[in-house]
Amino acid sequence: MYRVALDLWQDDCPLARATADHEVTLTTPYWNFSPETGRWDLWIEASADDRSELEAGVRALGGAETMHRFELRRKRASSATVRALFDETAAIDAITAHGGAVIGPFTNRAGRERWHVGFTDSAAVDAALAALDRREDFAVVERTRLDGSDAPDVYRHFDAAAALLAGCDRLTGTERRVLRTAVERGYYATPRQETLATLGDRCGVSDAAISKTLRRAERKLLGAAVTALDDLGDLDGPDDPDRPRPARGGADGG
């Protein structure tokens, strides 16, 4: 199987249009495409830094000509959840016509879309990309062959990946900025290249505040990591040097 990541602009996609005209990001974690009806059925998470931009982007999406059903399910602060049903686009038609399928969530930002699509063989990938090239403005970001050892891991460990992402999502903006600065400046390096005091100076707060922020961020991420490890099952990796080894010889050790 082949996994292909695409960055593209779809002139006939209401999500692309909405994000091109408004500073809103649309992420689609749940979706279904029906070749029989030729329609997308999507759950869309909309977010924006500005509430007015969020509302304008959602209105633009709901008012698209190809929209058959649009439901605002939730709106809070600068985020919203909507369900939309609209006609297929030329891009998905090119993908499905060559045996491909969308295999993961996709994101729309500033008019561009990031897709992850799957194909069974390389010839199908080439044919689909050639068809897309005649219709769409796009770039191939990644093209990966999933062999027998890679493919099962990608799908079998979905719960572990979701646990890690959930931990990252729980970080506040301040926690993300401080943690990123700490990593980039060598606070976690050996030997340590940054102290709490210098990190605090860099972030414009006291070392006590930096310490508290880092502890909160670490607690969230480590909790998510332990949950992910539980989902993986075997806490001892195969190359763990501290993993107990079977004793040599017989039952008496001789």
How many domains are contained in the chain?
A: 2
Q: Do 26 and 130 reside in the same domain of the chain?
A: yes
Average pLDDT, stretch 213-232? Answer: 87
Q: Do 26 and 119 reside in the same domain of the chain?
A: yes
Q: Do 138 and 176 reside in the same domain of the chain?
A: no
Residues 172-222 have pLDDT tens digits of 889 999 999 999 999 999 999 999 999 999 999 999 999 999 999 999 999
Checking if the pLDDT of 78 tops 70, the result is yes
Average pLDDT, stretch 128-133? Answer: 93
Q: Is beta strand 39-47 parallel, antiparallel or unpaired with respect to 25-34?
A: antiparallel
Which residue would you say has higher pLDDT here, 231 or 47? 47
Give the global pTM. Answer: 0.64
Structural domain including 100 reads: 2-146
Residues 96-110 have pLDDT tens digits of 899 998 888 889 999
Checking if the pLDDT of 253 tops 50, the result is no
Q: Do 104 and 45 reside in the same domain of the chain?
A: yes
Beta strands in the chain (DSSP E): 2-9, 25-34, 39-47, 67-76, 79-87, 101-102, 106-109, 112-119, 137-145
